Amino acid sequence: MGQDINNSHYKKNDFLNYQNNLKDEYSILESWLEQQQSKNLDAHSPEHLKAGFELEAVLIDDQFSPYGVNEQFINSINQPCITSELANFNAEINTSVRKITHTVFSDFEKELNSIWNLCKKQAEKDGHDITIIGTLPSMKNTDLSLLNMSKNLRYQAINEQILRTRKGQAIELNIEGIDSLKSVHSDVMLEAATTSFQLHLQLPLHNSVRYFNSAIVLSAPMVALGANSPFLFGKNLWCETRIPAFEQAVQVGGYEGAAFGPIKRASFGQGYVQHSLLECFKENIDHFPVLLAEKFDDHPKYLKHLALHNGTVWRWNRPLVSLKEDGSYSLRLEHRVLPAGPTIVDNIANAAFFYGVLETLAKQYKIAEQHIPFVRAKENFYQAAKAGLKGKIVWLDGNTISLQKLLLNELLPMARDGLSHLNISRTDIDFYLNIIRERLEKGQNGSSWQRLYQQQHDCNMQQLLATYIENQNSGQAVHLWKI
């Protein structure tokens, strides 16, 4: 969940000071962007897109229930790339940052497999296990309590401030899928029910708007392609239940009078970017009160206050900014729609597909966001999360099309073109896109496999998870898993 902080309680004056720092840092970023746009420097320079990933995992015991030992687990592994998450049964793996070119995807797969093998061996040594899955089917409502919150001041502070903003009102989970699920929580721990595979992309400044808006348009096909979260608390819900579960876990709106209004901190967003990604940071300041009124002594150019505030607004496509060594800033896209799992190779194939299609959409003459209104892109996203590959959405030509057909017949060729343009090796292109093609032809992603296996074997959630992990350990892509 981002930057560490030093306090969990704040005074009124802390919020006023933070707001002033926030505005000062925004002005610094705004001035820099205006200078760069006037120079138009990178419009004619070669683009070297860079990528990196965050993969969230769940620690489980021998009964396939969440196991809250992440502090011991992380300390034992002693790798800076493995960090804690909200719950003490979650851990996050962070990859290196690499240029998107040549063998980048097979290199990423080797890196993630290496780290993942360390995690599996350490978990086995400690007498438990670890898995990657969007929502843990064996999780119980009682697992999501403050007793299972990681020992990090940031999480305590977020919980306290969100409940303050909600005036102590409990958080209600209400998901209507194949089954119905309703539950009430007095804290933000519902968020720990969801684990993701987050894709990062460093954007070229002159074309950042096109990339960002194209990612928004692509969110619906991507969530259907990678869906892996059908069950929560034993209920069969959406294909990607992680989407409504996460949004409802931090149900907080804007300023006084709008705290329970339509603009939410965890959402699909409010619209496309028109001129600059600055619009997202301005929206953060204008619409969302400060949650973590931390004081940073760093020079304002580091944008610490701006970055922390941005980290408490959870759009499914979120812009990030950071200061580079040369004194300039890098703008990044954080694409958050994909769940963790089912396997490392499935995750990398999803990433290759995304970057390939995104490259084509961002560069083609037909500007995607001019052909799909934002409200339609939003409707597409939730429809895809609910129905998965069997769902239908409205695409660029204004016609309704099945997601399986769209992905296979239109987007897969676009992915190949985009990856070729990025100078990805033919071997990598063929290998990862063939995984996507075979998954689509068979119609079997993580979500559909879980549902079919549970239905055919009439098994409980522990038995389902046991077989899921057995298949995951085989390393075979999910379309090859037997029912």
- The answer to whether the beta carbons of residues 58 and 128 sit under 8 Å apart is no
| pLDDT tens-digit series, residues 160-207 | 888 888 887 888 999 999 999 999 988 889 999 999 999 999 999 889
Q: Where are the beta strands (DSSP E) in 243-380?
A: 266-267, 314-315, 317-323, 329-335
* Rounded Cα–Cα distance for residues 305 and 293 (Å): 9
Distance CA 141, CA 466 (A): 20
> What is the rounded CA–CA span in Å between residue 380 and residue 377?
5
Is residue 216 within a helix (H) or strand (E), and if so which, with residue range? helix 208-226
Under DSSP, the state recorded for 408 is I
**Which of 152, 120, 156, 250 minimizes the C-alpha distance to 194?**
250
Alpha-carbon distance values, 433 to 153, 295, 332, 364 (Å)? 42, 46, 25, 20
Question: Which pTM was predicted?
Answer: 0.95
Secondary structure class of 223 (helix, strand, coil)? helix
% of the chain at pLDDT higher than 90 = 82
Q: Partners of 235 in the beta sheet?
A: 232
Q: What ranges make up the beta strands (E) of 17-106?
A: 50-60, 82-84, 90-94, 98-99
Q: What is the CB neighbour count within 10 angstroms for residue 89?
A: 26
Q: Which residues are registered as beta bridge partners of 317?
A: 335
Mean pLDDT score, 396-404: 96
Distance CA 197, CA 340 (A): 5
Domain boundaries, the chain: 12-480
- DSSP label of 3: -
Nearest of 200, 203, 222, 219 to residue 363 by alpha carbon: 203
What's the N-to-C CA distance of the chain in angstroms? Answer: 36
User: Mean pLDDT, to the nearest integer, of 350-376?
Assistant: 94
pLDDT at 40: 62
Tell me the pLDDT of the chain averaged across its residues: 93
Q: What percent of the chain has pLDDT over 70?
A: 95
Residue 404, SS3 per DSSP = helix
Backbone angles phi, psi at 113, to 5 degrees: -60, -40
- CATH 2.60.40.10 corresponds to the domain 12-480: no
Q: How confident is the model over 199-247, as pLDDT tens digits?
A: 999 999 889 999 999 999 999 999 999 999 999 999 999 999 999 999 9
Beta carbons of 263 and 165 less than 8 angstroms apart: no
Q: Name which of 406, 405, 423, 402 is nearest 355 in CA terms.
A: 423
